[in-house]
Structure 1
């Protein structure tokens, strides 16, 4: 056998092997396969999705992209055909099919509409925080740290406006960053009387010491099939929804930091049927995703197994689950919502700081950051750095602050007028509530009864708006509360391991 024939046979053998590896026919050899999945950003158009691909083009259309406009989209393979380039998309962790590259948002930089900063000599703004996503010419998400910034840092010590230009390849965007003019904004007095607090309760320190029935190695982390009922002194919580571990491919399968959606749930907000949870890859991350579920269309159990749902059910679920871009969320437990927007305080500091804090306003319609403000709460020169907050509407934020030096909790109302955030203390409670310095893991405001709820581990404390202690609910779940929210007459409580949303009536 001559050398030329040997070479041809070798090429044919490799062609067959590549074809089999890609799961397609011989004409798919131009597919580029990734060991890990890249993140793709959906565009605005509606495109057909196909079962098969060849050099001639796609075939066997079976659905369209209209169901996946706000899903988490990833891909491991692409094919260049006579009809254009096609990508094999994975939606919310489920392999779906082939779609034209024109479907994706290509050469785009999505940024907040504007940024408004409180005047503060101790804070500087990183314009990277304003980025929703950046894509290349193929619609693949790019690490935001690779973007050129015309002004890498905005200092907030003097009033004025700076226009920041963002560039990556052919993509370009701009945002105006304004430092507000009132140098005393956010400076006030903490002067409310300390109301008597509860006797300190002993609890564990650290992560959850138990799990849901099947969220453990003994049960292979299988799905939950029975609801829970948790009771404590007038509060009854019942399972509303068990969440999926991932709304993407799972551990270490993404080739970028934007791809994985899971596994750590943190803060929650519920308004009507819209339930949103902040999700992180690890508990130390400051960036993550918001995942919103329409509870009218999502059942208690089925979302745990998105890849295993029958196709018709999956399409419906994918259309009613929205995933934000990979954005700054802080620790995720300072969150709330109005009818149109989700609000998050994006910080991750463990100690009190005189830096400003950032409020992100995120559209529910497309899960992108619309606007960013910074604010501060200072008692004279003493800062109140906020870790837990809730937003009952577009112009009001309630916050809790643990004043360890004075052994009390303070409650603050921050009101927005235009871009100005004015703070006032509304109440305070003496004591630490728990005996081992466990942090607050949930905070919310009940408008109907004018009261707050604070969560620690599996404990919930109810307090009047002025800080008067009302009641302790010990739920004996031995799983951490990851977030609290009130909507209407319902208190919603999120538990960890597995992520479980429960609900009960407020009183």
Structure 2
């Protein structure tokens, strides 16, 4: 080789070495929080900066964002982002919300000396200077609980600060209702299996390696036929043990769901004992396939980009048991209750969550009646909540309607049914539609009139837990576990 060629080769090698960027890597992924602006995404980074622009963050800003790696360059830090479990590319750190605490805009409490509102429940997310999510428990708060006195609560973490005004409604007697309805004749009490699912969809098992489903289901009983609408991803994040923080894993346990128009929303937890989790919103108008969403990490790039643009994931927020959901055109509503708490004087939290960015907008605390702690509820529009009360000691179900006027939630009992329906299993879902209530248990759904009169009993044999019901017009939506599957039928 000529001397000039040797020198040129050596110069190129030295230049490449000098230009190679040292990446900071994590053994487990950190959770990143998107900001409001759009940024380019690149294939590569070097010490000089990024190269190979190929897409924009506008398609991915509402997904679950994680990262295991970043590089410091002459143009700032760039992170290799993973969205909904799939590696996407390199993006400027400026894309993330940095040194920020996002909280609910307002909190309105019903005055109750027996319940202190935990002020950290108002947090959507907290980030450090790199836009990495921080455990909400690490945030300093000026008051840990608020009960009977209006307060301004201040939140801080490093350079990040926020505050929320908490008002107190001194009219509990006018909001709370009284038990007045005579129970209607109920159903013959029966039993079902209890505990976790005893079966699964065809491929959701070790023998089939939890692979994707490729054929639909049809479940029929007593005139109601449920058909598969959507098989959901196992995770909307990296899987088991790959997240370095509790905010990172999205799934694998669904607890509740709601459908409004084309918007299907489900609550997701990494443990069935958690009170915090994520909401996932699927735009069914764009996600028409029953099967494709299972394959986010392997589908072709253009399809993934489209799906990512039509799936939104909330931050890690207070959802309680996550079984009591409802929705309007613009908001998701959650009764964030404690399913381990029986009857008592505690207030309950209603979360109003914006569909636009999947963050808590407002929080109310409510009380339905004396000694009536609600475990199941649903919402119709922005101003109406239907609640189901049941306790074995009363041997009846009660149906309550709560109507919102400003910040007040006025409760009225509208019906009741005698009996236990199912003697050995808790309620797994509750819905209201066209003047009917639907109460779901494992493999059983009961339909009753508004006044509590028994109408129909639907009995299935899936051996899979029901994880939420939703009704709209004449359609009933039912979600099954293992694999999470949304079904729909007409009643």
- TM-score bracket relative to the smaller structure: over 0.9
Match of 1:88 in 2: 80
Counterpart CA distance in 1 for 2:37 and 2:199 is 46
* 1:439 has 2:426 as partner: yes
Moved over 3 A (4+): 24-29
TM-score, normalised by the number of residues in structure 1? 0.92
Match of 1:203 in 2: 192
Counterpart CA distance in 2 for 1:129 and 1:169 is 20
Match of 1:408 in 2: 396
Match of 1:354 among 311, 333, 345: 345
Once the two structures are superposed, the pairs formed by residues 23-42 of structure 1 within 5 Å of their partners are 27-42=19-34
TM-score, normalised by the number of residues in structure 2? 0.95
CA offset at residue 25 of structure 1? 8.1
Match of 1:326 among 307, 316, 324: 316
SS of the residue corresponding to residue 150 of structure 2 reads strand
CA offset at residue 181 of structure 1? 1.8
Match of 1:457 in 2: 442
SS of the residue corresponding to residue 184 of structure 1 reads helix
CA offset at residue 28 of structure 1? 4.5
Match of 1:313 in 2: 303
Once the two structures are superposed, the pairs formed by residues 128-143 of structure 1 within 5 Å of their partners are 128-143=120-135
Structure 2 residues without counterparts, runs of 5 or longer: 1-15
Counterpart CA distance in 2 for 1:234 and 1:470 is 12
Counterpart CA distance in 2 for 1:282 and 1:197 is 34
Match of 2:406 among 407, 410, 418: 418
- Alignment: residue pair count: 474
Q: CA RMSD in A?
A: 1.2
Match of 1:5 in 2: none
* 1:259 has 2:244 as partner: no
SS of the residue corresponding to residue 188 of structure 1 reads coil
Match of 2:330 in 1: 340
**Structure 1 residues 61, 439: closer, same or farther in 2, change over 3 A?**
same
CA offset at residue 161 of structure 1? 2.0
Match of 1:190 in 2: 179
CA offset at residue 152 of structure 1? 1.6
Match of 2:116 among 124, 127, 133: 124
Match of 1:239 among 223, 228, 234: 228
* 1:500 has 2:489 as partner: no
CA offset at residue 29 of structure 1? 4.7
Match of 1:285 among 241, 263, 274: 274
Per-residue Cα deviation, 1:52-75 (whole angstroms, up to 9, x for no partner): 111111111111101012110000
> Does the 8 Å contact 2:21/2:45 carry over to 1?
no
